[in-house]
Chains A and B, each alone.
Chain A
Amino acid sequence: MLLTIATTARPATDLGRLLHKHPDNVQRFDQSFGAAWVLYPEATEERCTAALMLEVDPVRLSRAFGRGSGDASLQQYVNDRPYAASSLLSVALGKVFSTARTGRCDARPELAAAAMPLEIALPSVPCKGGPELVEELFAPLGWAVEAEPVPLPGFDADSRHLRIRLRGDARLADALNQLYVLLPVLDDAKHYWVDIGEIDKLIRSGGEWLASHPKRGLITRRYLAHRKSFERAAITRLAELGDGTEDSLQTPIEEEAEGVEAGAASPAVEAAETTGADHPASAAAGIADPAADGRKTAAAETAGTERSGPLHRKRIAAVLEALHEAEASSVIDLGCGSGKLLSKLLKDRRFSRVTGVDVSSRALDLVERRLRLDRMPERRAERLNLLQGSVVYRDRRFAGFDAAVLMEVVEHIDPGRLPAMERVVFAAARPRTVVVTTPNVEYNVRYGMDEHRLRHADHRFEWDRARFTAWASEVAARHGYRLRITGIGDDDPEVGAPTQMGVFDRA
């Protein structure tokens, strides 16, 4: 809600000219979510400070940007937006100082074009990534960064809010544009829906300094709310601006990109909210979807590389090979998630009938979008069927397939409910072949994870090779299947492969 910009350039009051706001006035600017004020707590020859202050009306805010907007946190009626320097502040800054941002100053063009000593203070900035990220984002731009976390009242812990102070010599217009772009990047959230127009805004505000910024990948991704296609377009355009190498086209994988395109307000969060405000416990009790809420363990982020990385591809390849060996032509992918396996199955004409099942209807929407179902040729589309269903509810629609795949699914099921899953898949649906993959927890040490960390926050367990073999053998024996277990990925002589796969064939 508060940003102060101070300068010690002489005369310091020139700041008012550059900002196009007179130091002796208190100006109010109406905003959709409340009001923005510009005023000067000090204005002397030696030092002049401009303050941009927001008064957020939470009711107007939730009305103006509530459901369907970008930032899920706004759907919580109690949120930090009235106090924090978020995208609201960034938008207000963009509007209130729009001329200053262009670097235009008809009265003092030379002033606007020159760097000046600036000191920027933000008492409360929501930041996903801690003080280190502030350093990483602002230091390359020439700022001396001070960032310290604000403690959580009542808890022996830090909040995600930081008190930030930046000092340095810079063009005011650059400083404003950097804040405009980077505040929502720190927060990793926007209060509005991110559309294709955001690419232009990003290029306009960040063009010069962003193209060479070492963190441009992260900045672009977060600024564009993790929307992949936008990201690619923006990176390409940035590359054209700077001395673009192929390199910059590669978005480095720093963060989990799997799952939900983050812009979409997660219904999981909505669900948490529905049960939440009144009985917040249950919301914490976790309707929140770990794929969407970003609250992954560090380990998961490490392992995250495997998602879109080589291990994930190897896993799909191994599953496909197992399906080919089983000569399966109809396949049901139980827990299809965003549909990566489905898309491979569809590309292979040997699979004449492909069914994807997920318990989350949101995942199925994602599959539809990802596979571009509406534009898929009819011949291919007719081989695909998507169903909402659950592997712990017996379902007659699961019957009649040559093969069922449970790829990285069992570890998301509470151990107490595995027997139900077993009955649903092996006793009721009873396909000729069942392929199960799951992490091998022994391999976690190779990710530098400590013993008790799991690869994903939603994993209910991770089995070592002995446990998986024991479970799979019992299941196979109970239901009359032959079992073959193999590893997927780099086969470490000591700890085995990162993924283990069981192929069950009906005896």
Chain B
Amino acid sequence: MPETTVSATAATEISVPELSLVVLIGVSGSGKSTFAARHFKPTQVISSDYCRGLVADDETDQTATPDAFALLNHIVGVRLRRGLLTVVDATNVQRHARAELVKLAKDHHVLVDAIVLDVDPKLAAARNEARADRDFGEAVVRRQHRDLKRSLKGLGKEGFRRVHRLSGLEAVESAAIAYEKAWNDRTDETGPFDLIGDVHGCRSELETLLAKLGWEIERDAGGRAVGAAHPEGRKAVFVGDLVDRGPDTPGVLRLVMGMVEAGNALSVCGNHEQKLVRALRGKKVKVAHGLAESLAQLEIAGAEFRDHAESFMDGLVSHYRLDGGRLVVAHAGLKEEFHGRASGKVRSFALYGDTTGETDEYGLPVRLPWARDYRGRATVVYGHTPTAEPEWVNNTICLDTGCCFGGRLTALRYPERELISVDAEREWYEPVRPLDAAPEREPTTLDFDDVAGDRHLKTDLHGTVKVRAENAAAALEVMSRFADDPRRVLYLPPTMAPVDASALDGFLEHPVQAFDHYRERTRQVVCQEKHMGSRAVALVCRDPETARGRFDLDAGPAGAVLTRTGRAFFEEDALTDELLARIARAAEASGLWDHLGTDWMMLDCELLPWSAKARELVEDQFASVAAAGIAALPAAREVLDAAAARGLDVADLASRTEERQANIEAFAEVYQRYCWPTDGLEGVRLAPFQILATEGKNRADHRHDWHLGLIDALADADGTGTLLKTARKFVALGTDDERAATDWWTELCEAGGEGMVVKPVMETRRAGGRQVQPGLKVRGREYLRIIYGADYTEPEQLQRLRQRHLGHKRSQALREHALGVEALDLLASGAPLWRIHQMVFAILALESEPVDPRL
């Protein structure tokens, strides 16, 4: 802990850490509230009087004191947890009151300062007397002053970082507050950085690595490396454990100290530095794990160098926050609630990791896999645990690749996230246990807290998207009971809104409204044939190794074919695998893998026929309605014909019934067109229409002619006839293209098609600051019978249906699209599963918002 001093003189400037708990100490009437109000924001100051008022409606009600302090402690705790500077305005003249606050600060790993307002008790009593709400006498103040005086001596040992004592009225009046940055706060350093793993005395490898990274090494007359600079102004960050085990600890220290002192590098403290310092200072330490080598080498290097190294290592901070808080470096990693905090626990975590205090069969401390549970935004780079292969786990990475054990020395380029390493020249030190061949992969277990409750998700396209708790609850059930393994559910397609209702006779939807919609927002649209099947998302891997290595798919299909609710399309894995293999083969044959520089891709598709997945629904809902109508309506007409023959006036009813019969027959024709028998994959067709993402690239914003062109080639290369192309028409808005596309749509629909989707050719993510609908559907007149009922074309019904409210549906489409794009960004960049899952889960949750399902 930093030193604790009592400054007896009246300091004019009081310096407190930016994030800390400031405890005011002074008798009633000493001017604490006035002092606090002068120097801090009202929200930063929590006063015991105010809390007493909150719990008793009376700031002087002493019987409410225990509850008032419980409340005060609670508020202080919440603020500290959230990382806010907090000032406690209470007398705090008694030791136990202060102890509670010091503990609160420690529990939240923030520093705590005390400011003592030591004024003449007579003055304080006089002030109290002048206030109507202070009816206690001078005796109370005298007693408080006695307590304070007694406290002053031991105050320095109570755990305060610093005690600032303002003696006398003048000192109180003239004091000014200054803020100290935390030592670990280097958020203004934005890099670019070269982060370097555990060096452990391997000077030669370090020099080679620095050279490989483009650093120019500075040497002294003896040829010894004494510093380095990068021509592009990069900064090196060492994750600690520079020393011990390797052949040249002094050489490493010389080079790194030169770099750090020149401002070209930063280094955090490793556990080996910590121990070496203690050893150098003559403390009793167990000489093991390569410490002896360091001590011997430093002995040779001479006393001056040794002292220099000792003070360098002693000054190392246990973790740094860099790049606006987006990057955290600590030797053994750091969980999120410790970022930017300071306490013994934080330091111990940063140096040793999340240890249990037990040791394993090699006598090494057992460490808990904190990274597995890490959910923070900041990237955490660390070392400490040697592994054969550095691997990203939840946005954290360990760079210790065991150079001193004959492994490699590894660097991470940030923000490029590129790994560069050099091999060890030899095994310098025999490892106690073998290097972990592959560190335990992140298990794909997701956490309830990742998805449940009200959530606010940040997206590029739509700002914050809110997911309500009740919708999340609905999604939890669907995800748990029906969806495929989350490792396969990496994207779900957003819903799509229809066009505005058409006023044209007999039509509810028509292309004109789509063109009208986009005319102000973009210049060119593409009209794509809407295949009437089921929406499907396909995760296609080039080979099973990719599925295993990239997506951790160790069982089941080597990829996924999902419905829009994340369910596996086929019950049999073999069918999924076979369909994926067909796509992968076509991609191989068309050169798509190499063209895109990827071994996997996510495709947005339509899978046909409709009955392949929806057979039960078609039978239960559509065919069954047709059956009822086709059975009942002719019977009704017979009755009416007979009645008419008797001379009864049933003409109107009869003509309506006749019309209904024609409508139900048309209805039956529509759904039958989208049904044909399938057996396994026989009869199954897949029409991909967008390549959503490939390795490292979210492709959702590419032009649609790019997508469709590549997919045409893919379909052409498919020898099995499974893959279908998607017919389309490009339309320059405001030209004759519109008419041509309308005619084309009419033909499509008359031939029994579902209709078309109109999309901006180039996804203009935002036009004039507003997100643009990624597509609008224009469904055919006959198709809509299965949506709105057989008789929807009756003029009266049609008129009613035109009064539809598209606002919610459109907003839902935009929000889901924004989440989907976010999921693809994360997927392409190899983000941890739980982050992708949050987005995908949110899409599913939004789907349970009550929106007219016919839209």
Residues of A within 8 A of B (CB): 1-2, 4, 24, 26, 37, 39-43, 49, 51, 53, 55, 58-59, 76-80, 82-85, 121, 123-124, 126, 150-155, 157, 159-161, 163, 267, 271, 273-287, 359-361, 388-397, 412, 414, 416-417, 420, 423-424, 428, 458
Contacts and interface: CB of A to CB of B under 8 A. Distances in A.
A85 B635 CA distance: 13
6 contacts: A26-B650, A78-B786, A150-B628, A153-B630, A285-B567, A420-B445
A4 B639 contact: yes
B96 interface: no
B393 to A, nearest CB: 16
Nearest to A121: B635
A161 B624 CA distance: 8
Given A41-B642, A58-B789, A393-B446, A151 B627 contact: yes
Contacts of B849: 274
Nearest to A43: B646
Given A275-B853, A281-B614, A388-B473, A77 B448 contact: no
B617 A126 contact: no
Contact of B632 (A123, A283, A388, A458): A123
Interface string B601-634: 0000000001011111111011111111111111
Interface stretch (B261-269, B509-517, B664-672, B705-713): B664-672
Given A1-B636, A280-B621, A394-B445, 4 more contacts: A157-B619, A279-B534, A285-B534, A424-B445
Closest 5 A/B residue pairs (Cβ):
A281-B534, A41-B642, A159-B627, A284-B617, A123-B635
A380 B780 CA distance: 60
Contacts of B671: 154
Contacts of A273: 853
Nearest to A84: B628
Contacts of B294: none
A78 B639 contact: no
A76 B443 CA distance: 41
B628 A393 contact: no
A391 B535 CA distance: 28
Contacts of B480: 359, 390-393
Nearest to B478: A287
Contacts of B473: 361, 388
A37 B790 CA distance: 22
A155 B623 contact: yes
B478 A284 contact: no
B478 A271 contact: yes
B632 A124 contact: yes
B773 interface: no
Given A271-B478, A275-B853, A285 B565 contact: yes
A83 B791 CA distance: 12
B448 A393 contact: yes
Contacts of B649: 26
B309 to A, nearest CB: 44
Given A41-B642, A273-B853, A284 B613 contact: yes
B439 interface: no
Contacts of A76: 621
Contact of B624 (A123, A152, A423): A152
A287 B627 CA distance: 25
Contacts of B448: 389-390, 393-397
Contact of A275 (B564, B624, B850): B564
Contacts of A280: 534, 610, 614, 617-618, 621-622
B3 interface: no
B474 interface: yes
Contact of B788 (A39, A77, A157): A77
A91 B46 CA distance: 67
B476 A393 contact: yes
B683 interface: no
B451 A51 contact: no
B787 A80 contact: no
Interface residues of B, number: 91
A276 B617 contact: yes
Contacts of A393: 445-448, 450-451, 476, 480
Contacts of A359: 476-477, 480-481
Interface in B622-680: 622-636, 638-643, 646, 648-650, 653, 656, 660, 664, 668, 671-672, 675
Given A39-B648, A274-B851, A393-B476, A161 B627 contact: yes
Interface string B476-487: 111111101100
Contacts of A126: 628
Contacts of A39: 639-640, 643, 648, 650
B625 A284 contact: no
Contacts of B29: none
Interface string B530-547: 000111000000000000
B495 A152 contact: no
A317 to B, nearest CB: 28
Nearest to B785: A78
A308 to B, nearest CB: 23
B445 A160 contact: no
Contacts of A267: 474
Contacts of B495: 278
B534 A282 contact: yes
B847 interface: yes
A150 B482 CA distance: 33
B642 A42 contact: yes
B624 A286 contact: no
A391 B445 CA distance: 10
Contacts of A414: 484-485
Interface in B760-806: 786-791, 797, 800
Given A278-B855, A393-B447, A159 B624 contact: yes
Q: Which of B615, B621, B626 has the most CB of A within 10 A?
A: B621
Contact of A390 (B476, B787, B851): B476
Interface in B807-855: 847-851, 853-855
Q: Which of B563, B617, B624, B790 has the most CB of A within 10 A?
A: B624
Contacts of B626: 152-154
Nearest to A293: B620
A423 B445 contact: yes
Contacts of A282: 534-535, 563-565, 567, 613
A93 to B, nearest CB: 16
Interface string B550-584: 00000110000001110100000000000000000
Contact of A420 (B444, B449, B612, B668): B444
B639 A395 contact: no
A80 B797 CA distance: 17
B625 A79 contact: yes
Contacts of B632: 1-2, 83-85, 123-124
Q: Which of B484, B631, B634 has the most CB of A within 10 A?
A: B631
A155 to B, nearest CB: 6
A44 to B, nearest CB: 10
Contact of B653 (A37, A160, A161, A286): A37
A281 B648 contact: no
A87 B849 CA distance: 30
Contacts of A159: 619, 623-624, 627-628
Nearest to B638: A41
A278 B648 CA distance: 43
B534 A41 contact: no
A42 B478 contact: no
Nearest to A154: B672
Contacts of A392: 446, 480
A275 B445 CA distance: 27
B786 A153 contact: no
B660 to A, nearest CB: 8
Nearest to A152: B623
Contacts of A161: 624, 627-628, 631
A126 B627 CA distance: 10
B619 A77 contact: no
Contact of B854 (A85, A163, A278, A416): A278
